[in-house]
A and B are shown apart, each in its own frame.
Chain A
């Protein structure tokens, strides 16, 4: 059945619609969202193995031949990302049940998450540049709802800025697609790649490449364009923040990866050099922010920016090792960021504050939380048996192979800063004397928040320890990214 790759997109959409019929029935909302995501999870796993066994899956709607209809393409890169997003949405909904509060649950919170997942999965799977824009808008519209839902003052204030930035970047996206259309005369991504290869990337295509970098860089928060992210992400409640931090910036990262490995590969001396410089600066900006704050949310938010820089550095190197490292690190980072936000959310719920200086002594009262936090923190920094290690190792190796010694060493040094920033949370919150009164959240609620978090942390540990099983998928993904012809042949042969 060749329509199988549509299921991870359609199922969340369908369940999102079903949930809209009875917003006030919270039981129905919770069960419906969990059921939908479980089914989506099964199909996403099945899709990944199907892609692994049978090669790239392609569907062109309405039986039109490939460049004329809208094509959806599921290769290993997108199947891995789709699976990771569904896993994260699943854990976020599970965590939300006790963390988000009944008022939000009865005002289309779960449909918002499901529609956002529809947009994210669609953006990962599409093979049409304008369809990518439409899926971007689907996920952005849902994110507007989620960021402002609740209507607190900080949320209203920050969502205005968030929406403004995204409206502008969407307009630039439309403009860029218009320019690209006027040069190559097609919208199908594989066809664009072939046409650009045929004209050998003249100057105008390089300009379009930089415009795409601006558009997707605004979504992904790379160096000069990350200004909106720290304050916007601090506004919504923790489960929404976890979903945004894990998924939304990564869609931008994926879009940069796709366009820079499929379209703009003929003038890498300029475009990829630019991407490398920006990614190094992104890491620098993130490191400064991660060390500057005493607010637990802000520290992890700046760590998102660091990770975006690391992944894009790998993409800019354009060799097998670095691209494979980027894929490894991308999936790792999505999982670990969600886990860290969940853990930080529990810390905030227990202590009643997000200010590190007002915390202390949690190790005595919540030892399990402390140990899981420590594992997640080491995983983020890339201590060998844990999940962040393999990705960064391969990225640095790829950097050395491409001859960028200084930048690669800077990646390694940034790991120290990452470790320092998250260990500061551990030292302040878990060691020392108990400070102030602990917030009394009841045992049941604490357990409901802790169980999904603990499972997610264990999943990241498994991801690190079992990297040998995951390597074939990553090799496949790197092969597709490094050889655009694999992708274009799969799409255009039919």
Chain B
């Protein structure tokens, strides 16, 4: 199996390292051609404004959108979740607009308000999982087609819709591989 990781900006190496630990072939996606022959794609954490701009200018935006609509499995973490959402608010950016969720950017405040917590998400793992939130967004509205996997204080922060998976937090910054294993099971 070969998984693409969007490598325009952000913490893409962390995703690649996790995938390699699961014996998965990876490719850093910087050009439209890099999308050929991949079985899934991860849109990593970073700055969604920066990624949005580079996605548009390189033409990767349309190519990824087309592939996702044709069923390519995709996982967005944090900035990646903002890119996937149909709508985003609080300084909105142009994204793929493929997933039926509406997200609020920087929903918890500035860096000083970033946090980490241990939770149970049965869909992902039988063991407690560490969730790292960094200037994180949350989902404030979603379609009934969207399956919510976890809510924090009543706000959805992990969701799945068909071939699309989104988390407001960063599993790639922990040692745990469960989320990556879960995504590979979708591919």
Partners in one complex: no
- Interface, chain B (partner A; CB < 8 A): none
